[in-house]
Amino acid sequence: MGQKHICILSGAGMSADSGLQTFRDSNGLWKQHRYEELASPQAWEDDPELVHEFYNMRRKQLGQVEPNAAHKALFLLEEKYEVSIVTQNVDDLHERAGSKNILHLHGELRKARSEVNPDYIVDIEYDKLTIEDKDPDGHKLRPHIVWFGESVDAFDDAIELVRNCDVLIIIGTSLQVYPAASLVNYAPQDADIYYIDPKAQEYMQMSNVKIIQGKASDRVPELVRELMK
């Protein structure tokens, strides 16, 4: 028999214990800013400098934080399982913890792309972007982020991964944003599904999901220890 396939669906809570803000908690980014003014095609059209400022600030922070115990524990699973990570996060903390198969549903902070040619994508590490940064044809570079109202191009690949999992572990997401939140519905009937989040009870109604209430950096390593036995 081949290795069992574990699929992870992670959200901002995964990286909260590394020091990155979530979006909808009381100190979350979308409690401090209106997302329409920072994370939408309209915002980019109206005020690209403000949009850059927001993502430059987050990119800089990302360069100053480290993967936490939860990211590191997920990497250990690869000793025994085939592991796929589907993340809503735009940080690179799963990569830096060593995980191999990572699908970013909502883009990546470390990348910029041409506002005209979606195939022109560059790694800018933790640097600033300005409106003077252009692609070879002179079009502005924008953050490689899926903004509100834009399509989630990686969604079909994510469905395929979830359809083919034996275990699905959902970590640190409020499951408020679609289509990402609907991925749980594609898990096979007989898959084991876990949901690790301090508010898991509140956010999950499905009776076939095992609720693990708590912080990712505590509860993910515990679950990984169980799964490695």
Tokens 């690869």 found at:
78
Report the residue number, 48 or 198, with the smaller CB distance to ligand OAD: 198
**DSSP per residue, 75-92:** HHGGGTSEEEEEE---S-
Q: Which of 71, 94, 104, 106 is catalytic?
A: 106
- What gap in Å lies between CA 176 and CA 94, rounded to an integer? 22
Task: Select the residue interacting with ligand OAD from 18, 22, 56, 99 (CB under 6 A).
Answer: 22
71 catalytic? Reply is: no
Binding mask 38-77 for ligand OAD (x = CB under 6 A): -x--------------------------------------
Which positions from 116 through 135 interact with ligand OAD, judged by CB under 6 A? none
CB of 175 to ligand OAD, least distance (A): 6
CB of 19 to ligand OAD, least distance (A): 10
How many other C-beta atoms can be found within 10 angstroms of the C-beta atom of residue 55? 20
CB of 129 to ligand OAD, least distance (A): 16
Task: Select the residue interacting with ligand OAD from 174, 191, 193, 194 (CB under 6 A).
Answer: 174
Our measurement of the distance from residue 139's CA atom to the centroid of its chain's CA atoms, rounded to an integer in Å, reads 28
CB of 92 to ligand OAD, least distance (A): 14
- What gap in Å lies between CA 39 and CA 152, rounded to an integer? 14
Burial environment of residue 91 by CB neighbours within 10 A (0 to 12, 13 to 18, 19 or more): buried
